[in-house]
Amino acid sequence: MKVIIVGGVAGGASCAARLRRLDETAEILMVERGPYVSYAACGLPYHIGGVISNESSLMVANEEHFRRHFAIDARTNCEAISISPKEKTVELRSVTTGEVTTERYDKLVLAPGGSSVRPPLPGIELPGIFHVRTVPDARSIREWIERGGAFLAGKPNHSEGNRTTPVRRAVVVGGGFIGLEVAENLVHLGFEVTLVEMLDQVLAPMDRELARLVENQLKRHGVRVSLNDGVAAFAQAEGGSLEVRTKSGKRYPADIVILALGVRPDITLAKGAGLTIGETGGIRVDEQMRTSDHDIFAVGDAVEVRDFVTGRPSLVALAGPANRQGRIAADVIAGRGSRFRGSQGTSIIGLFGYAAAWTGVSEKTLKKLGDSDCEKVYLFPNSHSGYYPGAKMLVIKLIFRKSDGRVLGAQSFGEDGPAVDKRISSLAMAIQMGATIHDLEESELCYAPQFGSAKDPVNFAGMIAANVFHGDMPVAHWDAADDAYLLDVRDPAELAVESVPGAVNIPLAQLRERLGELPRDREILVICRSAQRAYLGTRILLQNGLKARTLSGGMLSRDMLLTKEH
C-alpha cells in the first residue's frame, strides 16, 4: 500500500508517524511545499519577541529524522499541484527546480493547512507589512526589526533636538491569537503598539464581557486598542515608514505592520479534485476524516469539522485537533475504526502575565442559533486556598442547559495561568464526556493548598449552577436589572468604594431583623461583591415568603458587563 500525505507540520506529520507505527510495510511519501516538514507554528510570535531565541528550537523534525526513524520519504520544497482521483495520481512540482513528477497512491491524505487572510487592500504589498504563518515569515520580521532598529538608532529625534532613539511604532491588524501574541512581544521589544480589530472585541470565540478583561489588560500595558474599525488601506509615509488608514478615517503611523486576520482553509487541491467542500468553506469529511472520495482523507486547518456541542459544521484552526485528526486518518488507513468526535475549540492564550481560556460554546453563539435552553453563572474563586500565599482571583463563566444541566461551555481569565488552564481543561473534558453540572459538583480533583481548594473552582461552578437549576438560587443578570428593586447586602464601608444608584442597603447580618422594610409585592434582586452573600440573602428572603433572585456575579460581573468603553 502506498500512501501520499500532502502537507507536514501538525496533521500531516502526525499522520505519517502514526501510520508507520501501525504498518511497517506501507510505502509513505510526505510532501511539504515549505522548507520545513514539521515545526512549532504556535511558537512563532515568541520567536519574534526573542522569548524563543533560536530558530532551531521551533523545529520538531526534519526530513532526515523521518527517513531514519520512520522510513518515510519526506520531501520539502515539494508542492502538490493537482490530483486525479480517477487515476489515483498526484502531480508534484519542485519549488526549487520547477520539475514536475507524477506519483501514484492507494490512499491520499490532504493536510495543506490554511492560508493567511491577506485582503486586496491598497498598499498591502508595501515593504514592512508581514503576516505570521511560517518560520520564514518570523525570520523576515526579525530581520526587518533588526534593520529598522539600526536605522532608527541613528535618526535624530527632532522633537528633542538631539539624537536619542525615537520610539518604534507597530500596528497589528487583527485581534485573534496571533495578533495578541505578536502585540505583546512587540511591546516587550520596545514598540508602541496599536491593535486594530474590525469586530467589537478581541478573541472572537469569547463572550464580550470576558474579552473586555483581555482588552483592559492590553491597555494597561500600553497597547492602543481600536475596535469596530477595519483597515481600508496602507500608504508609504515620509522617511520610509508606513501609514495604516482605517475605514473610520483614522491614520496610524507604523514602522512595521503585522497582518493577523486569521486563516482560511486551503482547498485548492480539493476543489481541483472535485471533492465536496462544506458550507463553512473547508473540505467536508466524515468522522473518520474521509472526504467525498473513499480513498482520500483530509485533516487539519483545511477541513470542516463538527462542533462537539452544537453539532453544526465549523472551522477550527488549532494544533491539537489537527494532530488528533492526523492520528485518526492513519488508524483508518491501517484498518482501525477510530472516529473523530468533533471539536469544542478548547483554547488558552497568555498575555502580559495573565491567561484567558475557553471551551465549548459561547453565550453569544447560542443566542445567534436561537437556543434559549441555556443559563449562565459567574464566579470569582481564588486560584488556590486563600490562606496560602500567592492566591489570585479567577474569573469563570459557566454555561449550561436549563433543562437537564448539561455543561455547554466555559470561559476563564486570571493572573494565575496554570490555574486558568487547569479549570478550563477540566471543564473541557467534562463537556466531551457529556457531563452535567451535577457531575461538576461531585468531581474529585487534586488538592493541596498551593494548588487548589478543598472545594475546587470546578466544584464551585457546579454547585452554584446546581443551586440555580434546583431553584435554590434563582438568578438574574445585570442587563435585566434597570428597573428592578435592588437590595445590596454588603457592609456600608464597601459602598463607599462602589455602589449602585438606587439600591437599598441592608447588611446581611441585619437582614433577618429588617425584613419588614422590604416589599412583598415586588421581586427583589440581591447583590454583593461576588454573589456569595447575595445567595445567602436570597435564601433568607425566599424562606420568609419574599420574591427574590441573586444577581449572578454581583458587583464583579457588573464591572465586566456594564463598564463603558474607554
Q: Which are the catalytic amino acids?
A: 528
Residues 514, 522: Cα–Cα separation, whole Å: 16
Q: Determine the 3-state secondary structure of 516 from DSSP.
A: helix
Q: Residue 141: which of 120, 116, 121 has the closest Cα? A: 116
Q: Residue 88: which of 180, 4, 171, 10 has the closest Cα? A: 4
Contacts of 548 (CB under 8 A, 6+ apart): 474, 487, 523, 524, 525, 526, 537, 538, 541, 542
Helix or strand run (H / E) with residue 425: helix 417-432
Residues 139, 59: Cα–Cα separation, whole Å: 13
Strand-by-strand arrangement of the 313-314 sheet: 283-284, 303-306, 313-314
List the grid coordinates of 158: 527632532
Residues 441, 422: Cα–Cα separation, whole Å: 16
- Look at phi and psi of residue 417 and say left if phi exceeds 0, alpha if psi is from -120 to 50, else beta: alpha
Helices marked H in 240-360 — which ranges? 268-272, 319-333
Helix, strand, coil share (%) of the chain residues, nearest 5: 30, 25, 40
The distance from CA 342 to its chain's CA centroid, rounded to whole angstroms, is 17
- Phi, psi dihedral angles at 497 (to 5 degrees): -85, -45
